[in-house]
Amino acid sequence: MTMSRKTIIQYLGYILAGLFILCIPIFLITSNLRWAVNDIRLYEYGFNKYAVSEETGFSDEELLEVAQGFIRYINTGQQGSEFEIFNDREIVHLEDVRDLVLVNYRLQEATLGFLIIFAIVGVIWRRKRFASFLARMLVRGSIFTIALLAVLGVVALVNFRWLFNAFHHLFFSGDSWILAGYLPRIFTEGFFSDAALFVIGAIVIETLIIGGLGGYFVIRSRRTGSYPPVPQVAQLGAEQLPQVSPAIEVDSPPAPLDKAAKDENSFLAEA
């Protein structure tokens, strides 16, 4: 049995709405990872907290030059004189890291593009009615993001080493990430642990803001939303009017449907 046009559009709407919800945590995670990679303050914090200068013998200024060289390499592919302190195995690992970070960049840009296009098309297609639907999608995406971060946060707090090793086994081949030169002494496991917690904390704050705004508009639409007017019945001739028993009395009109609930049930179903 072939599906009707209305059914196809309904299923497509469900898929796109699901992708929108999924893109929210992906966009927030990749955006904050991009920030972490490029924020020199995070490197300076880690170097000071874990006494990297004493461990390596490099001054604070030299360590910052290494961090700036790393950021420049990630974004441009150019290796400066700062990389002379790393051995060949470390250079190969840094190349793998750069490839992974660039994938993160492209994923962030792709999800941002989808979120923007989804919102623009929705506004053009449904205009004002799309606002309440978008607000509910933001709330659901925020709930999904918080749930995902809760799992990652608990694992990071309980056993970050396991999470750290699992990440490297997943994204790097073999034992190429197991190093013994300056690289692991400059970028310590504690540095990555703190960076992960900073990223998770930033995402939580952003998610609460997004979910809070979405929830505000959902509640507002339910409290102040206008209900559809009762349709006017066209005047009919006496012979066309249905016969109604006089014993039946209508005390009051039926309660209007909640606007948000009505939109929820019919938004995606309408062609």
pTM over the 0.75 mark: yes
User: What pLDDT is attached to residue 226?
Assistant: 43
Where is average pLDDT lowest: 48-62, 117-131, 229-243? Answer: 229-243
Angle between helices 40-49 and 189-224 (to 10 degrees): 130
- The 3-state DSSP class for residue 255 equals coil
**pLDDT tens digits for 201-213?**
999 999 999 999 9
pLDDT value for 144: 95
Rounded CA gap, 135 and 213, in Å? 8
pLDDT, one tens digit per residue, over 10-61 is 888 889 999 999 999 999 999 999 999 999 999 999 999 999 999 999 999 9
Q: Please answer whether residues 57 and 91 qualify as being in contact, where contact means their C-beta atoms are separated by less than 8 angstroms.
A: no
Predicted local confidence at residue 222, as pLDDT: 80
Contact 226, 132 (CB under 8 A): no
Q: Which range among 36-50, 116-130, 149-163 has the greatest average pLDDT? A: 36-50
DSSP 88: H
Element (H, E) at 191: helix 189-224
Lowest mean pLDDT among 100-109, 114-123, 196-205, 227-236: 227-236
Round the average pLDDT of the chain to a whole number and report it: 83
Buried/exposed 238-258: b ≥16 CB within 10 Å, e otherwise: eeeeeeeeeeeeeeeeeeeee
Task: Please say if the pLDDT value at position 269 is more than 70.
Answer: no
The larger pLDDT score, comparing residue 74 to residue 123, is at: 74
